[in-house]
Chains A and B, each alone.
Chain A
Amino acid sequence: MSTRRFSVFSMMVAASISLALCGSVGAADKSIKIATQSPLSGDQSVIGVDIKRGAELALEQLGGPLVDMGLKIELAPFDDQANPDAGVANAKRIVSDPAILAVVGHYNSGVQIPSSEVYHTSGLVNVSPANTNPKVTTRGYLEVNRIVGRDDVQGVVGADFAASKGVKSVFVVHDKTAYGQGIAEFFKQKATENGMKVLGFEGTEEKANFDALLSPVVAGNPDLVYFGGMAFQAAVLFKQARERGYEGIFLSDDGFDSSDAAKIGGDTLISGGGTFYSTVSGPASVYAGTAKFIKDFEAKYNATPQPFAAQAYDSMAISLKAIEDAAKAANNAVPTRAAVAKAVRDLKEFKGITGTFTFNKIGDPEKALYFVIQVVSKDPAKWSENKVVQTLEIAPPQ
């Protein structure tokens, strides 16, 4: 046996002993865990981390009733790395921990869809704060719910709003993610139906340099530029378009709802035809809870919440409420997963900070409220004062 072989061996032994630390955390009898899954690493972690934080804040603020019942509640955050493999592995880890009674998560529909197959086989309820792909719920699983609207509705809301502004021509851009492209495809479809001329339909993974993309946009001078995707790209694109002399209307989706947009875009968002976005999460004027949420969030984490943080807060709130209902039905004992999954569907008119939720039979919120909101100030601090210009109540397609 050579020295080398031996040293490897001893390294391994040392490593596994040191791992004992991590593995030996035992769970108390009456403890309940709620897992979150979102990308905590990589370039999408900006949003993923805030999904975790939103849920964490809700657990802290709203866990009271369960604690009063003598139950111990904990958060178990997981990093799905925006990668389906990591998401599925975490999902299996989650379902193998009997203390976990609900999952708040995923940011990427591409990760949620395979991971929720795992939750489904184990009867574990998943409340999604961000997955807008129709397929998330159209599979008809009892365990899978979401509190956000669907791509196929939000795109339509955008296109109808454009029609109401008398828009004749549009240029559609999206971010080449399942989310952004999903919305953009439906926007394009509906816009064509509404008789608008679609000058172009382009996807881009670019985050900084939109010069090349903007040439055909500016040359066509459409009445409206639509962006399907997130604020950090949309605002840069809008800013560069204004710098190139484009004066029309900007329209985006709920990914645009972030004060970073004002930080990046500044003046350019309120000049010309103005900037609008459609969203399922209403501003503070509609939902009083949102303002408090933003204040609490900033106090705790010293950062403004990213999009979907408030939705994560609500997803956690719904999970807690369902666990509470199920626990009450079980005489203050820890409820079963099946009971929790059923309790989520049984919730009626749950008042969250981003809306009032009742789930339909496939797990979409019944009659979600959709807003079209206009940016009114270049000051990021005044983002929450943005003006609602249109409110629509739409039931999801069955």
Chain B
Amino acid sequence: MISLFLKDLFNRVNQGRWPYLIVIGHILAGSLLVYTQPRSNLAFLVLMTSFMSLYFFTTSVRFKLIAGTMLALVIIPIVGVRNIFYLEVIFQISVFAALALGLNIVVGFAGLLDLGYVAFYAVGAYLWAFFGSQQFYVLHFAPGTQPSDLPFLLPGDAFYMFLLVGVVIAGLTGILLGLPVLRLRGDYLAIVTLGFGEVIRVLANNLDKPLNFTNGPQGITPIQRPSMPDPVVEWFNSVFRGVVGHDVTPADMYNLMFYIFALIVIIVIIFVTRRLDDSKLGRAWTAVREDETAAIAQGIPLVKMKLAAFAVGASFAGVMGVLLAASRTFISPESFSFMQSIGVLTMVILGGAGSIPGVILGAATVTILNLQVLQGFSLYLNELRQSDAVMPIINFAWKDLSPQLDPAKYQRMLFGLILVLMMIFRPAGLIPATRRKREIDAEETN
């Protein structure tokens, strides 16, 4: 009843110039809230959801582009440097969105379940970590025993070159792995890629002898960043000092810079993905995904098509790896565990395999859940526990709540629940891919 009423309201509102007003209102309200309440999770969420109203309400493409650019390039950076936690959340959302979009090519378009996707991320990260740090001169030292005054192998600005090198090397790794295993059927492939992900992690953990390439579990640090010219910081401060309220340090500017880089990668991925989806290759992937046997019969070179998907997906992970190494200045094998692969997969599944807006939504939702909501909820419960508050009606003192009930601790449960529930109730994801949606809608009308 209520949902019908709401739906009716939504349809009525979604006409004429109403959508424009609502979207602008949403963005303004979000910005204002974040501006006045710089530490409230809720205000931040209001601002972040304005991306959703921008997507859902029917407005002209030009309006969407302008409003989106304003949000991403002006409002969010200002909000971010005012509270660097937001910037970190947004940065992680963009990193995971890029990864999820890359995995989406493999899982969503070609229908190959890759459970070791972070392996390629690790390849990119370790690539820049090795060449962009002192590691080259540490080759003959056991981890932890090297002197601290070693020179760097390459200047920090070689980072830009390594963005490309990362694409190539990760892509090649994808092909190398793909060649033997892509003849396998879907479920075998999943397990083999899982094994491959573990192999890469174990290698990163163990290649500290006989020659110390990765510094083992201690990880590589410091890793260089590209140089940040002073005029950029000064320019930013001279323009935005008023709204930000304080001078921005170069360290914060780096965060902003890596956010912009991640954004650029996302735009490139979206562009490439959309072009691919409409190309011969994309059609071939769809055919492979829907029915391998039929695809072979149509003369589609199966292994070549799968290899292409694997390589494209891997190269995007590679470039994000290079970016991560530079932004963190520290890399260790812990960042590339099986959990991370499952995390990225959860994003793709939640949003909708094959759907670009869906995957971005999935990445944002999971990241915000993980970083803000679960942690926030845990902190909130903890404050209740330390207070004298009593739960109304059932008269339960919060103090007595077991400290084991701590939502932040149960991240695996969250991922597990999302995967199972989505598969049972909404296998196509929150925002199904257009092609799938057409199929589903057709079924519904039949």
A residues whose Cβ falls under 8 Å from a Cβ of B? 1-13, 16, 19-25, 40-42, 45, 49, 53, 74-79, 81-86, 88-90, 92-93, 95-97, 108-111, 113-114, 117, 121, 133-135, 138, 151-152, 176-178, 181-182, 185-186, 188-189, 203, 205, 301
Contacts A22-B41, A75-B382; is A113 near B330 (CB within 8 Å)? Answer: yes
Q: For A76, list chain B residues within 8 Å (CB).
A: 379, 382
A181 and B217 within 8 A (CB): yes
| Chain B: CB-nearest residue to A120 | B251
Q: For A40, list chain B residues within 8 Å (CB).
A: 406, 408-409
Chain A interface SS verdict (over half) = helix
19 contacts between A and B (CB under 8 A): A5-B431, A19-B376, A22-B377, A23-B44, A23-B376, A41-B410, A41-B411, A42-B411, A45-B409, A78-B379, A79-B375, A79-B408, A81-B411, A92-B88, A95-B84, A114-B330, A117-B330, A188-B142, A301-B403
Q: For A78, list chain B residues within 8 Å (CB).
A: 375, 379, 408
Instruction: Scan B7-23; emit 1 where CB is below 8 A from any A CB, else 0.
Output: 10011001000000000
User: For the complex, is B59 an interface residue (Cβ under 8 Å from A)?
Assistant: no
B217 and A92 within 8 A (CB): no
A121 and B249 within 8 A (CB): yes
User: For the complex, is B143 an interface residue (Cβ under 8 Å from A)?
Assistant: yes
User: For the complex, is B181 an interface residue (Cβ under 8 Å from A)?
Assistant: no
| Chain A: CB-nearest residue to B209 | A201
A93 and B375 within 8 A (CB): yes
Contacts A74-B386, A114-B329, A114-B330; is A182 near B58 (CB within 8 Å)? Answer: no
Q: For A138, list chain B residues within 8 Å (CB).
A: 148
**CB within 8 Å of A: which of B1-60?**
3, 6-7, 10-11, 14, 39-46, 49, 52, 56, 58
Binds A, one of B69-77, B264-272, B313-321, B331-339: B331-339
Query: Nearest chain B CB to A263's CB is how many angstroms away?
Result: 21
A19 and B45 within 8 A (CB): yes
B3 and A10 within 8 A (CB): yes
Contacts A74-B383, A176-B206, A185-B145; is A23 near B88 (CB within 8 Å)? Answer: no
Q: For B40, list chain A residues within 8 Å (CB).
A: 23-24
A25 and B441 within 8 A (CB): no
Q: For B334, list chain A residues within 8 Å (CB).
A: 82-84, 108, 110-111
Query: Nearest chain A CB to B342's CB is how many angstroms away?
Result: 12
Instruction: Scan B366-400; emit 1 where CB is below 8 A from any A CB, else 0.
Output: 00001101011111101100100000000000000
8 Å CB contact of A84 from B330, B370, B383, B408? B330
Query: Nearest chain A CB to B326's CB is how many angstroms away?
Result: 13
User: For the complex, is B124 an interface residue (Cβ under 8 Å from A)?
Assistant: no
Contacts A6-B7, A41-B411, A88-B88; is A1 near B386 (CB within 8 Å)? Answer: no
Q: For A82, list chain B residues within 8 Å (CB).
A: 334
User: For the complex, is B205 an interface residue (Cβ under 8 Å from A)?
Assistant: yes
Q: For B244, list chain A residues within 8 Å (CB).
A: none
| Chain B: CB-nearest residue to A122 | B84
B85 and A4 within 8 A (CB): no
Q: For B328, list chain A residues within 8 Å (CB).
A: 84-85, 88, 114
Q: For A4, list chain B residues within 8 Å (CB).
A: 432, 437, 440
CA distance A278 to B435 in the complex (A): 64
Given contacts A1-B56, A2-B437, A83-B337, 12 further A-B contacts (CB under 8 A): A7-B3, A9-B10, A22-B380, A23-B44, A78-B408, A79-B408, A108-B334, A117-B329, A135-B218, A176-B205, A182-B218, A186-B145
Contacts A74-B383, A96-B84, A134-B144; is A1 near B11 (CB within 8 Å)? Answer: yes
Instruction: Scan B202-227; emit 1 where CB is below 8 A from any A CB, else 0.
Output: 10011010000000111101000000
Q: For B284, list chain A residues within 8 Å (CB).
A: none
A86 and B371 within 8 A (CB): yes
CA distance A188 to B142 in the complex (A): 10
CA distance A123 to B221 in the complex (A): 21
| Chain B: CB-nearest residue to A185 | B142
User: For the complex, is B422 an interface residue (Cβ under 8 Å from A)?
Assistant: no
User: For the complex, is B189 an interface residue (Cβ under 8 Å from A)?
Assistant: no
| Chain B: CB-nearest residue to A117 | B329
8 Å CB contact of A23 from B10, B41, B431? B41
B380 and A89 within 8 A (CB): no
A181 and B216 within 8 A (CB): yes
CA distance A110 to B205 in the complex (A): 12
Query: Nearest chain B CB to A384's CB is how many angstroms away?
Result: 24
B residues whose Cβ falls under 8 Å from a Cβ of A? 3, 6-7, 10-11, 14, 39-46, 49, 52, 56, 58, 83-89, 92, 142-145, 148, 202, 205-206, 208, 216-219, 221, 249, 251, 328-330, 332, 334-335, 337, 339-340, 370-371, 373, 375-380, 382-383, 386, 403, 406, 408-412, 430-432, 437, 440-441
B206 and A89 within 8 A (CB): no
CA distance A111 to B330 in the complex (A): 9
B89 and A89 within 8 A (CB): yes
Q: For A85, list chain B residues within 8 Å (CB).
A: 92, 328, 335
Q: For B52, list chain A residues within 8 Å (CB).
A: 9, 12
8 Å CB contact of B85 from A5, A74, A93, A176? A93
Q: For B83, list chain A residues within 8 Å (CB).
A: 96
B56 and A5 within 8 A (CB): yes
Query: Nearest chain A CB to B237's CB is how many angstroms away?
Result: 16
A113 and B221 within 8 A (CB): yes
| CB-CB nearest 5 A-B residue pairs | A23-B41, A23-B42, A22-B376, A92-B88, A96-B85
CA distance A152 to B375 in the complex (A): 35
Q: For A117, list chain B residues within 8 Å (CB).
A: 329-330
Contacts A74-B386, A110-B332; is A16 near B7 (CB within 8 Å)? Answer: no
| Chain B: CB-nearest residue to A111 | B334
| Chain B: CB-nearest residue to A73 | B386
A110 and B218 within 8 A (CB): yes
Q: For B202, list chain A residues within 8 Å (CB).
A: 205
Q: For B249, list chain A residues within 8 Å (CB).
A: 121
CA distance A74 to B431 in the complex (A): 41
CA distance A25 to B431 in the complex (A): 32
| Chain A: CB-nearest residue to B45 | A16
B251 and A121 within 8 A (CB): yes
Contacts A9-B52, A89-B88, A96-B39; is A178 near B45 (CB within 8 Å)? Answer: no
CA distance A138 to B196 in the complex (A): 36
A8 and B144 within 8 A (CB): no
A2 and B441 within 8 A (CB): yes
| Chain B: CB-nearest residue to A21 | B380
Q: For A24, list chain B residues within 8 Å (CB).
A: 40, 42
Query: Nearest chain A CB to B327's CB is how many angstroms away?
Result: 9
B42 and A19 within 8 A (CB): yes
Query: Nearest chain A CB to B347's CB is how many angstroms away?
Result: 14
CA distance A152 to B340 in the complex (A): 32
Q: For A152, list chain B residues within 8 Å (CB).
A: 144
B41 and A10 within 8 A (CB): no
Query: Nearest chain A CB to B151's CB is how many angstroms away?
Result: 18
CA distance A288 to B330 in the complex (A): 40
Q: For A176, list chain B residues within 8 Å (CB).
A: 205-206, 216-217
8 Å CB contact of A97 from B39, B386, B412? B39
Query: Nearest chain A CB to B10's CB is how many angstroms away?
Result: 6
B144 and A185 within 8 A (CB): yes
| Chain B: CB-nearest residue to A98 | B39
Q: For B10, list chain A residues within 8 Å (CB).
A: 1, 6, 9
8 Å CB contact of A79 from B92, B409, B441? B409
Q: For A84, list chain B residues within 8 Å (CB).
A: 328, 330, 332, 334-335
CA distance A368 to B26 in the complex (A): 58
